[in-house]
Amino acid sequence: MNIKNSQNFLKSSKLVHDLIKLCEIPKDIKIIEIGPGKGIITDEILKVSNNIWAIEFDKDLYDKLKIKYKENSRILLTNEDFLKVKLPSEKYMVISNIPFNISADIFSKLLDGVNQPQSMYFIMQTEAMMKFAGAPYYNECLKSLIYKPYFETKKLYDFNPKDFFPVPNANICFVEIKKKQFPDLKFGTYQEYKDFISFLYTCKGKTFKEKAKHLFSYEQLKKIRKQVGIEYDDNITLWKYESFLKLYNEFVKIVPPMKKVTIIGSYDAYKKSQDSLEKIHRNRNIIRHGTY
């Protein structure tokens, strides 16, 4: 696995300085940097933080960083695979130019764990950001809906491809993903909500009537259709986040426990299917490019 060949490095320290100024960095919070590379982002973080954990997988890059920061006690540098490290138990945030082809794995590790970060500032592919953020950048999808009750996403900057070496073949942006002070989820549990959303997206049908009939009775559907703001023939890809939230609230309040069992395990099943697809995608990249 060659991380260097799967990552695009920023060239301008001035640009990185301006990007770090856009970040809300509370005093004394631990900052994790995934893949510091040559340290261009690390140098700017060190100007505003005394508590950095930089995790570099590539041994050659790690050895050079170790020399560069050997006199700096404010940074903990480790030569590890981020996907295998144990996350902090205290509050922390993440700032990183993440390897684009493992961004889904990084999101999953950070957001599906017990102690989620307070905020994340990522340099990432714009297409991936849009799918994660959903509205107002893109139609809502399963991925955006899963995390939206607890996190809000904002695009802060659009890069010029020439800002990087090597020049990427995709549009890149700088994004803020911040934990909401007050979650939107007022009823039920987060696990049940994730199962509910995953079940709706993976069960048979495309329209509101086809999807919701698996969980609600005909009489219940008639009562809640206008409450949630969805017409019977509306395709699930056009439903608004607020409608999903209202529909889940109704599910919690009116669906009997024996029927709620239907959705249990839906999120884990979805994750397993996604992990399989990601593995196939990575294996194809190895064959095609010799990279992770």
> CA neighbours within 13 Å on the CB side: how many for 191?
8
pLDDT higher at 101 or 244? 244
Q: What is the per-residue pLDDT across 167-211, written as a single tens digit (0 to 9) for each?
A: 999 999 999 999 999 999 999 999 999 999 999 999 999 999 999
The whole-number pLDDT of residue 287 equals: 44
Question: Mean pLDDT over residues 206-233, rounded?
Answer: 93
Q: Where in the chain is the domain with CATH 1.10.8?
A: 190-268
**C-alpha 239, offset from chain centre:** 21
Question: Mean pLDDT over residues 152-172, rounded?
Answer: 96
Model confidence at 4: pLDDT above 70: no
> CA neighbours within 13 Å on the CB side: how many for 92?
21
Question: Mean pLDDT over residues 244-256, rounded?
Answer: 96
How far the first Cα of the chain sits from its last, in Å, is: 5
Integer angstrom CA distances of residue 161 from 33, 91, 167, 260: 22, 34, 6, 48
Q: CA–CA separation, 130 vs 288, rounded Å?
A: 26
Regarding the domain delimited by 4-179, which CATH topology (the fold level of the hierarchy) does it fall under?
Rossmann fold (3.40.50)
Q: CA–CA separation, 159 vs 174, rounded Å?
A: 8
Q: CA–CA separation, 41 vs 45, rounded Å?
A: 6
The model's pTM is: 0.90
Contact call for residues 53 and 78 (beta carbons, < 8 A):
yes
Question: Mean pLDDT over residues 217-231, rounded?
Answer: 91
pLDDT higher at 161 or 114? 161
The whole-number pLDDT of residue 280 equals: 55
Q: Where in the chain is the domain with CATH 3.40.50.150?
A: 4-179
Q: What is the per-residue pLDDT across 53-109, written as a single tens digit (0 to 9) for each?
A: 999 999 999 999 999 999 999 999 999 999 999 999 999 999 999 988 899 999 999
The whole-number pLDDT of residue 286 equals: 43
Q: Helix (H) and strand (E) counts for the chain?
A: 12, 9
Class of domain 190-268: mainly alpha
Name the token pair of 66.
């170790």
Model confidence at 2: pLDDT above 60: no
**C-alpha 285, offset from chain centre:** 22
One DSSP character per residue, 255-279 reads S-HHHHGGGTTHHHHHHHHHHHHHH
Contacts of 268 (CB under 8 A, 6+ apart): none
Confidence of residue 292 (pLDDT cuts 50, 70, 90): very low
Integer angstrom CA distances of residue 7 from 35, 124, 239, 272: 9, 10, 35, 26
Q: How high is the mean pLDDT of the chain?
A: 92
Q: CA–CA separation, 9 vs 99, rounded Å?
A: 10
Model confidence at 285: pLDDT above 70: no
Buried b (16+ CB within 10 A) or exposed e, 19-54: bbeebebeeebbbbbbbbbebbbbbbbbeebebbbb
What values do phi and psi take at 3, rounded to 5? Answer: -65, -35
Question: Mean pLDDT over residues 153-179, rounded?
Answer: 96
Helix (H) or strand (E) holding 285: helix 266-289
Model confidence at 275: pLDDT above 60: yes
The whole-number pLDDT of residue 84 equals: 96
